[in-house]
Amino acid sequence: MAPSIDQPAAAQDISRDKKETALEKISQGTPLPGVPKFTNVELQRQHMLNHMAGAFRVFARHGFVEGMSGHISLRDPEFPERFWTNPLGFHFAPVKPSDLILVDESGVAVGGNMSRPANAAGFLIHAALHKGQARRKCCMSFPFYLWQGVVRIPPSP
């Protein structure tokens, strides 16, 4: 049976007077959750390592895999003087959280997967950046084609 003209329609709050921002006008669907809050440092660490491994795969997909010394370092949530990084010479595409190595500020492996060496020399650059600002959680560096071009420039006659 159709509703009578006197009955109000189902509650559908379509406010046409509300001013919307440009972002609100193009947004559709359910809102995305923000950064999760953790009650356990182990859960936070696992979340961070999962996303770090994902970042390696994204960089690999975009071709940031030149050379064997590219690396990402991520400050540990429980021990701020320790950092997670990737093994030296390990291609970015297959990186999993279980492949990552925990190093101290000197680049010495202290945990994680210690079956492969960490890029200690490369990490020392990151250590200086991390020491410069305690809020800095992550650093990335990739030797790329630009450096190869600089090295291959022939000397002027």
Residue 108: inside a domain: yes
Alpha-carbon span 31 to 154, nearest angstrom: 55
Residue 11: inside a domain: no
Residue 94: inside a domain: yes
Residue 28: inside a domain: no
Residue 90: which of 70, 120, 107, 108 has the closest Cα? 70
Model confidence over 101-115: pLDDT tens digits? 999 988 899 999 999
Residue 138: inside a domain: yes
Residue 49: inside a domain: yes
Query: Structurally, how many domains does the chain consist of?
Result: 1
Which pLDDT score, from 0 to 100, does residue 79 have?
95
Domain of residue 80: give its range: 42-144
Model confidence over 21-67: pLDDT tens digits? 888 778 777 877 888 999 999 999 999 999 999 999 998 898 877 66
Task: Return the higher-pLDDT residue of 93 and 12.
Answer: 93
Question: Average pLDDT in the 108-125 region?
Answer: 88
DSSP 8-class letter at 67:
S
CATH number, position 105: 3.40.225.10
Residue 5: inside a domain: no
Query: What contacts 111, CB < 8 A, 6 or more positions away?
Result: 82, 101, 102
What is this structure's pTM?
0.70
Residue 62: inside a domain: yes
